[in-house]
Chains A and B, each alone.
Chain A
Amino acid sequence: MRRARKGALAALGVLYLSAICAGFLAPYDPAAQDRDLAFSPPSRLHVLGTDGFGRDQFSRLLYGARISLLAGPLGAAISIAGALLLGGAAGFFGGWIDSLIMRAAELFLAVPWFYLLFAVRMMMPLRVEPAQAFLMILSLVALVGWARPARLIRGVVLSARTRDYVVAARSLGASNVHLLRKHVLPQVTGVVSTQAALLAPQYILAEATLSFFGLGVGEPVPSWGNMLTVLQRYDVLSSYWWMFMPAAALVTTILLYSMLAETVHDWPAVR
């Protein structure tokens, strides 16, 4: 299992590196059109073929990776930061703060995930610039996904707070800040890393799904989600197999992430 984890980590590293170096690796401008070569199959000119506007699929895949791959870890970082703040406060202070935050979390968990995602999407303007859309998606997933990690973190903090050595430190006059930093937060790292490994792929999918339905990052900026949108046309679907490449990229990424999460987390991976 150790080896599998290292392999997954290395493969993800390669993916992220190639996304960052997209400008260096991509043979074409991802938005450059060549109408004479629409839907041309993979060839030595275009390694993964072209799309309906004759844009190079490989270059678009690389540039799309920037958006699709970054949305996951960044969104996870933001929502875990929020969860640490809220869950930590709930567990540490208890009382009405605890019940208020936990009731709110319950509401966010009571709605099926995609329904909540699209409901929160309703909050944002319908037509947005691609760069803003990326920030929008980040804030979206952070807002939608804070509840589960917050609940778990609260549980850990709550049990850490009542441990004997924490009570002893408090009786010696340790301040809240000291207690949090030295005794409580170190306990949370396990939950945080597991949740991060589980949330990141979920957010990558959230971005892909939003963009697929035209509610996320829009043309001409490529993302793995909006590159798949064209597959809703039956002629494209049945004739041009290389248009499925973004799907393959998505599946590979999710698989690598779940290999990573599984070793952290062990058996039942629940999404």
Chain B
Amino acid sequence: MPAVRYLLVRIGHGLLVLLGVSLLSFLLAAAAPGTFADELRLDPRVSPETIAAMQARYGVNRPIAEQYFLWLRSIGRGEFGFSVIYNGPVGPLLWPRVRNTLLLAVPATILAWLIAIPIGAWAAAGRGGWLDRLTIAATTVVVGIPEIVLGVGLLLIAVRTGYFPTGGMTSLDFDELGAWEKMRDVLSHFFLPVAALALISLPVLVRHVRASLVEVLRSPFIQAARATGVPERRLLFRHALRVGVNPLISLVGLSVAGLLSASLVIETIMSWPGLGPFMLDAVMARDLHVVVAAVICSTVLLIAGNLCADGLLYLADPRIRIGRFP
């Protein structure tokens, strides 16, 4: 079964990378001056005994290798270490955060592709024309908008128009709403951040779609199809896109990286309770284990995105199915 082997090799590789990333982020975080105990000591309600007990549990004063090992063992218990700001194990906090980030990232990715493919295709078809030049200019401008500027820009739209809530994931009276209204409430909250993330990933996608299709449209089989009288639109979306989509699929993984990265900033500005604010709050509070866990979660999402791209490529490209995979 080449398919299963292919998948296993990729998953195994991903796991190794994860282990390396956990070690890397742990080392970085452990190199920080001061530990969570210092922040806790500032709190007069926490007794010195409590701090000593916690230091013993996570081996804060032991060598880094031992700390890392203790932390790895706590993953086995589903704890992922101890969080100071949330005052409990990190593990149970992770899933809701990851879910909320996915709630933004997945629709944004789909939306961005749905917009990017027709725009890129039309630009490629009318290469050098006004639509093409407009697309190039527009993508250049959008690439130039930093995430923080886009974030505050969206806040401005929310504040000025009043159509959208200015942040968060739910309204204050969320618990009292019915099931239908709950859904509408979350939807209205997630419109702006999803639009922002889609807009951020759009220019790169459009450019690649255009570049790929320009390449395909030059090839002889398109010329032949055109000579037999296939309508231009069908030529573009049926014949050319099928071939042109292969190099684009591997781009899915890449665009997920940019998306997750931007998501940290957008989530924080729009106070969406995803991984981003989780990470930032932990950095501010020197909450070592939460930072490490957040970095690992983001890496898992990235690797999962790449795996999805690999799987799609496997389905779409017969050359890979025959068994000559990289």
Report A's interface with B, CB cutoff 8 A. 103, 106-108, 110-116, 118-126, 205, 208-209, 212-215, 225, 228, 231-232, 234, 237-238, 244, 247, 250-251, 254-255, 258-259, 262, 267-271
Within the complex, the shortest CB–CB distance from A92 to chain B, in Å, comes to: 24
27 residue pairs A–B, Cβ–Cβ below 8 Å: A103-B20, A106-B17, A107-B24, A110-B299, A111-B295, A113-B257, A118-B283, A122-B28, A122-B286, A126-B284, A215-B283, A228-B152, A232-B269, A234-B166, A237-B152, A237-B155, A247-B148, A247-B153, A250-B146, A251-B145, A251-B146, A251-B149, A254-B145, A255-B140, A255-B144, A258-B140, A269-B204
Query: B204 to A271, Cβ gap below 8 A?
Result: yes
Contact of B280 with A by CB under 8 A: yes
In angstroms, Cα B29 to Cα A108, docked, is 15
Contact B140 A268 (CB under 8 A): no
Contact yes or no, B283 A205, CB < 8 A: no
Of the listed stretches B221-229, B258-266, B311-319, name the one at the interface; the rest are far from the partner chain: B258-266
Within 8 A of A (CB), among B199-226: 204, 207-208, 211
Task: Decide: B32 and A118 in contact? CB cutoff 8 A.
Answer: no
Contact A112–B152 (Cβ < 8 Å):
no
Partner of A254, one of B29, B31, B146, B265: B146
Is B144's CB under 8 angstroms from A115's CB?
A: no
Interface string of B231-267 (1 = CB under 8 A from A): 0000000000000000000000010011011101100
CB-CB contacts of B273-294 with A at 8 A, as 1s and 0s? Answer: 0000001100110101001101
Q: Is the CB of B149 within 8 A of A247?
A: yes
In the complex, what residues of A have CB within 8 A of residue B145's CB?
251, 254
CB-CB nearest in chain A for B269: A232
Within the complex, the shortest CB–CB distance from B31 to chain A, in Å, comes to: 5
What distance in Å separates the Cβ of B171 from its nearest Cβ neighbour in chain A? 16
Partner of A116, one of B20, B143, B207, B295: B295
Quick one: which of B139-170 are within 8 Å of A by CB?
140-141, 143-149, 152-153, 155-156, 159-160, 166
Instruction: Flag if B32 contacts A123 (CB, 8 Å).
Output: yes
Report how far A267 CA is from B148 CA in the complex, Å.
25
Q: Using Cβ atoms and an 8 Å threshold, which residues of chain B touch A209? A: 146-148, 265
Q: Are B156 and A237 in contact (CB under 8 A)?
A: yes
Q: Give complex CA distance A68, B159 in Å.
A: 28
The distance in angstroms between the C-alpha atoms of A64 and B145, with both chains bound, is 19
Further contacts, 11 of them, CB under 8 A, given A208-B148, A269-B204:
A107-B21, A108-B24, A112-B298, A115-B264, A119-B279, A126-B286, A212-B148, A234-B155, A234-B159, A237-B155, A269-B207
Would B141 and A255 count as touching, CB distance under 8 A?
A: yes
> What residues on A are CB-neighbors of B135 within 8 Å?
none
Residues on B with beta carbons closer than 8 Å to the beta carbon of A205: 146-147
Of the candidates B33, B146, B208, B302, the one whose C-beta lies within 8 Å of that of A111 is B302
Chain A residue at smallest Cβ distance from B264: A114
Question: Is the CB–CB distance between B261 and A113 below 8 Å?
Answer: yes
With A126-B284, A237-B156 known as contacts, the answer to whether A271 contacts B143 (CB < 8 A) is: yes
Cα distance A209–B145 in the bound complex, in angstroms = 12
Cα–Cα, bound, A251→B152 (Å): 13
Are B264 and A118 interface neighbours, CB within 8 A? yes
| B109 interface contact, C-beta 8 A | no
- Give Cα distance in the complex from A271 to B260, angstroms: 13
Contact of B20 among A107, A112, A121 (CB under 8 A): A107
Instruction: Evaluate contact between A268 and B286: CB separation under 8 angstroms.
Output: no
Distance in angstroms between the alpha carbons of A270 and B251 in the assembled complex: 10
B83 at the interface (CB under 8 A from A): no
How many angstroms from the CA of A267 to the CA of B261 in the assembled complex? Answer: 23
Question: Which residues of the other chain, B, contact A108 by a CB distance below 8 angstroms?
Answer: 24
Closest Cβ of chain A to B315, distance in Å, is 24
Contacting B148 at CB < 8 Å: which of A120, A225, A234, A270?
A: A225
- For A120, list chain B residues within 8 Å (CB): 28
Q: Is residue B25 contacting chain A, with contact meaning CB distance below 8 A?
A: yes
Cβ-defined contact, A267 with B280, below 8 A: no
Chain A residues whose CB sits within 8 angstroms of the CB of B148 once the complex forms: 208-209, 212, 225, 228, 247
* Complex Cα–Cα for A250 and B140 (A): 14
Give the residue name and chain of the B residue nearest to A106 (CB).
Answer: B17
* Residues B204 and A268 in contact, CB atoms below 8 Å apart: yes
* Cβ–Cβ < 8 Å partners of B295 in chain A: 111, 115-116, 119
The answer on a CB contact under 8 Å between A115 and B298 is yes
B156: chain A residues at CB < 8 Å are 237-238
